[in-house]
Amino acid sequence: MRFFAGLWILILSGCGMAVSDKPMLEQADTAGAPQFEDGVWLMPELDDEKDCAVDTARPVSQWPDCAAWAVHRDGQWFAREGNSGIVTKAVPRDAVIVSNGDIAIVQLESDKSPAEDGTVDPTPYSFIAFDNQPAATEKLRTIGFWIVMCGTYEDSATEDEDAPAKLIRFPGFDEKCRPASVQVLRDAARLSRPAASVELPGFHWARAVLD
């Protein structure tokens, strides 16, 4: 499932991100949440050194294999099965949950199957966020998102230039970056938002059908 694998690579590259060992969003948090337009969604290439130009006017079967895309239909995501072709596989509905609010939070559940060494991720939930103000009244066709962090890094107060930066956690997070409540998570999403001058990575609706 290349599209979501690419998203996970981006998220896992962010140390200090908010995580959880249980789902955080409840029904009250998702009532009135923004909805995604049905069709094919494309995630821009995250590696600036790779050229993966996509002509979205062409059928997806003619897109390069490097393109990271997924299909949204009737409230469910379908990701590419394998690294080529247009065969898709349904992503479990509870693996991608979107909240309401001026800043919408997307709760992502990783694959909880055991790794090769038999271990299972103890904190399989992570979070991204996107601006939802004013609240969307039509289905979304593009979002710019950021990773929800559990704190900010500050330079070490020593003269050693090689000393690692220190993570200063936002209120309500434990030592493993798990939030104590949904409100703690919402506050972290707001505090994690990059400056307006920073270009956010995005998801974009590309076309209505695969081919």
Residue appearing with tokens 């998801």: 203
Percent of all residues in the chain with a pLDDT value above 90, rounded to a whole number: 68
Residue in this structure with the two tokens 């309401």, named with its chain if needed: 100
Asked if the model's pLDDT at residue 3 lies above 80, the reply is: no
Residues with Cβ within 8 Å of 47's Cβ and at least 6 positions away in sequence, in order, are none
The pLDDT value recorded for residue 2 is 41
Asked whether the predicted pLDDT for residue 1 surpasses 60, the reply is no
Cα gap 183→164, rounded to integer Å: 30
Lowest-pLDDT choice from 48-62, 65-79, 89-103, 141-155? 48-62
Give me the residues paired with residue 144 across strands: 202
**Distance from C-alpha of 69 to C-alpha of 45, rounded to nearest angstrom:** 10
| pLDDT of res. 12 | 52
- Specify whether the CB–CB gap between 88 and 69 falls below 8 A: no
- Specify the pLDDT at position 116: 76
pTM: 0.86
Residue 186, SS3? helix
Chain-centre distance for alpha carbon 158: 35
Span 7-43, pLDDT tens digits: 554 555 557 999 999 999 999 999 999 999 999 999 8
At 66-117, the pLDDT tens digits run 899 999 999 999 999 988 999 999 999 999 999 999 999 999 998 777 777 8
